[in-house]
Amino acid sequence: MNLDTVLEIFIDGKDISVDLDAYIPVSEDISAEFADQASRYAYIAMLAARAEAAYMESKTELKRVYAETDKEVRQDLASIGGKSTEAMVSVEIELRRGYKEAKDYEQYYYQQHLIMKAIETAMKMRADMLVSLGAQLRNEAQQLGMSVKSQVMNIRARQAV
């Protein structure tokens, strides 16, 4: 296992390791690759969907934290008697620890979502490549068969003379 190809993602409160070497490369056993492709894709697609859901939840949480922090900031500014502008409130929200943490989580889950979507796309490309490879191998086998048949006919023709 090459550590550069092991993806560590955090989904549904669990750390999940995805060894890309087990999902993307194609072995010489094309029949096994065809047989395994659907389940491999299904697993990656499921992880991608869960990563997207985690990202959407983090976006919702960020909005909730923003709204709470907005309320707190406005109350704090009102209690000191100062006039608050939208720019002041916005800057103060972004400086608050809770908002920064929620923003960091949202960015983390966005990154995880993008990575899993890219892997899902790679798995789709892998499936297309397997179909093309299978067609090419069938074509080569047919051509080889015709070549062997032609050689056999030539030998028989020479023997008949």
Q: Write out pLDDT tens, residues 80-127.
A: 887 788 999 999 999 999 999 999 999 999 998 998 999 899 888 888
Is 13 inside any structural domain? yes
pTM > 0.85: yes or no: no
* Helix (H) / strand (E) containing 88: helix 86-95
Closest-CA residue to 111 (of 156, 158, 54, 45): 54
Is 25 inside any structural domain? no
Asked if residue 1 has pLDDT above 50, the reply is no
Sign, CA dihedral 63-69-71-74, equals negative
- For residue 3, the model assigns a pLDDT of 46
Mean pLDDT, all residues of the chain: 84
> Are 20 and 115 a contacting pair, CB within 8 Å?
no
Is 50 inside any structural domain? yes
Domain span at 132: 3-20+30-160
Is 72 inside any structural domain? yes
DSSP E strand boundaries for the chain: 6-11, 14-19
